[in-house]
A and B are shown apart, each in its own frame.
Chain A
Amino acid sequence: MSETIKKFLYVNRKAPYGSIYALESLEVVLIGAAFDQDVSLAFVDDGVFQIAKGQKTNEIGMKNFSPTYSALGDYEVTKIYVEKESLEERGLTPDNLLHLTYEDEDDDYAEKDSIRFVSRAELSEIMDQQDVILSF
């Protein structure tokens, strides 16, 4: 049977600790990464809070899973779209986010940024190009 590579987009729209969606999404992305598909992530609406830097959860008694986003590059998840309008509406700038990178094997393993800041219109185009969209 021939292997078909499909374009998968995981759409993250929830803040990290108020519900289980963010953590569940991250786990599904990591599991799915084993299947050699063309995977991208989108952070939209409150989802942008998932990749806020400087999260320290010791006082709320929950696991801080934000360091795991930095491992996505090692799983060849290298396209992370962040919607500019969602950031702005929440008083955030790119400086407030984790610095996520990957090593480009086609470019002598140069370290490159995984996050691509896109407009709402650009993101709707990206959504339009997918084979499978999974929402969290």
Chain B
Amino acid sequence: MAMLHTVNKSPSERNTLDSCLNHAKSGSSVLLFEDGIYAVVKGSAAAGRLKEAAGVSVYALGPDLKARGIDEDQVIDGVTVVDYAGFVDLVTRHENVQSWL
């Protein structure tokens, strides 16, 4: 069964997202939250790297997008925005969780 990866650091301050994407296998999921959500902003350097991650489902936590003033229309295509209940669902739907800190 598949892994859920979580990333909570800004892609432009740490290499956490890159390390996660380098290890995430096809079929796994990546949930971005806290400062991790900045990776989904259209036109950003990190969004380009996220799009190249083949076979990985990408999720972003809605409350963290809103807190940081990132509108849903600034989010790249292919990202599913979830709420806290959706975060819990993702955890239960995956066999294991790896938190990239």
- Give residues 78-136 of A contacting B (CB, 8 Å): 88-92, 96
Q: Is the CB of A46 within 8 A of B10?
A: yes
Q: Are B67 and A18 in contact (CB under 8 A)?
A: no
Q: What separation, in Å, do the CA atoms of A87 and B93 have in the docked complex?
A: 37
How close is A56's CB to chain B, nearest CB, in angstroms? 5
Q: Say whether B49 faces chain A, with CB atoms less than 8 Å apart.
A: no
Partner of A18, one of B9, B41, B47: B9
User: Are B13 and A17 touching (Cβ within 8 A)?
Assistant: no
Task: Using C-beta atoms within 8 Å of the partner chain, give the interface range for chain B.
Answer: 20 to 34
CB-based contact B71/A17 at 8 Å = no
Q: How far is the CB of B67 from chain A (nearest CB, A)?
A: 4
Segment of A4-12, A23-31, A57-65 engaged in the interface with chain B:
A57-65
A49 within 8 Å of B (CB atoms)? yes
Asked if residues B67 and A91 are in contact (CB atoms below 8 Å), the reply is no
Nearest residue, chain B, Cβ from A45: B12
Residues in A neighbouring B9, C-beta threshold 8 A = 18
* Option from A15, A54, A90 in Cβ contact (under 8 Å) with B71: A54
Partner of B63, one of A15, A16, A60, A90: A60
